Amino acid sequence: MINEYAEYYSQASDVVARLGGTLTGLQFRAKDQAVEVFGLQALAICRDHCRAISILLRQNLFGEPIIISRSLFELVFALHWVLEATTREEALERVYQLEATPYYEFAKEVRLIEQDFAGPNPHWSPLKVRQFREEIETIMADSPFLVRSGNQGRPEFKKAPDLASRMGQDLRLRFYHIYRFSSFFTHPTPSLKKVYITETGTSHSAADIMDEPLKQTLAYCLLLIEILARSCCHIFDTHDPQQAATRDQYCSIISDLVDKANNNYFATSTHKRSDK
C-alpha cells in the first residue's frame, strides 16, 4: 500500500537526521538554551517517527502511521507555540512549561498514590512510594526552572496550557481537523467499524477504504515536518550561522517531498508556501 509514501518518509528521516547533524559538537545549557535543546529533541523525535512510519507503511499497516503522525502534529504545535513568544525570556518559560508538564502529571498521580497508601488496602508498597517521592524531589533540585510556587507556597512543577489554547486560531483552523482525524485511531471509533470489521458481502478491503485518508494525513504530516524543520533552522541559525545555507538546502529537500506528496490535499494552493 502506497509505497511512494513509505519512500518519502524514509527520505525525510534521513534529511532530518542530517539537519540535526549540523549541530554536532556544539554544547547547549539546559536552562538558558532550553529553546535550542527543545529543537534538537524535536528533530531527533521527528527523525525516528519518520523512519517508523516508513517501516509500517512497507508492512501495509495504516492505523499505526496515523497514530505516530498525531504525535508529530503535537510536536509541531508545541514548537510553534514556543516560537510565537514575543521575547526570549517568554520563549524559555514556554519550553520550561512544556518540559515540566509530564512531571506535573506524575507528581499529581504520586499524591493520589500517597493518599491511597494511607488507606486500609494500599495498592503500592512503602518502598515504591518513597522512590516516587525521591524521584520528584531529585528532578526539582536538578531543574529548579521547571518549578513554581504552588498552594501555600509549596513547590510544584509548572504546567503548559492545553493544546487547543496553545495552537491559536490560525494554526487550529488550518491543521486541527487532520489532528482530530488522527485521534480516531487511538481507540475503537464508530467511523472505523468498516475499516477493522469486515461486513458480510462487503467487497472493499481496509486498504481500499484507507488509501485516500491515509495519503492525505501523511501529506499533511510531511507539511508539518517541513514547518518543524524550518522552525528549527530559525532557532539554530542564530546560534550557529555558519551552517545556515546547508540547513536551508535540507529544508528544500523536505519541501520537494511535500510537493510530491500533495495531491491537492491542502486547503488552498498557497497553503504550504505561506509557511516558509
The domain locations on the chain are 3-90+162-275, 93-157
Residue with cell 495519503: 215
- The amino acid that residue 86 corresponds to is T
**Cell numbers placing 219:** 501529506
Question: Tens-digit pLDDT profile for the chain (276 aa)?
Answer: 588 999 999 999 999 999 999 988 878 888 999 999 999 999 999 999 999 999 999 998 888 999 999 999 999 999 999 999 999 999 999 999 999 999 999 999 999 988 887 778 888 888 888 999 999 999 999 999 999 998 778 899 999 999 888 988 888 888 888 888 888 888 887 777 777 776 665 666 766 778 888 999 999 999 999 999 999 999 999 888 999 999 999 999 999 999 999 987 886 444 544 444
* Spatial contact of 215 and 6, defined as CB atoms under 8 Å apart: no
Q: What are the tens digits of pLDDT across the range 95-129?
A: 999 999 999 999 999 999 888 877 788 888 888 88
Chain centre to alpha carbon of residue 57: 19
Question: What is the structure's pLDDT at 210?
Answer: 80
What is each CA distance from 168 to 77, 85, 174, in whole angstroms? Answer: 10, 12, 10
Residues 6+ apart with CB under 8 A from 207: 1, 60, 62
Q: Report d(CA 204, CA 195) in Å as an integer.
A: 9
Question: What is the structure's pLDDT at 203?
Answer: 62
Residues 6+ apart with CB under 8 A from 81: 94, 98, 160, 166, 167, 168
Question: What is the structure's pLDDT at 67?
Answer: 93
What 8-state DSSP symbol labels residue 147?
A: E
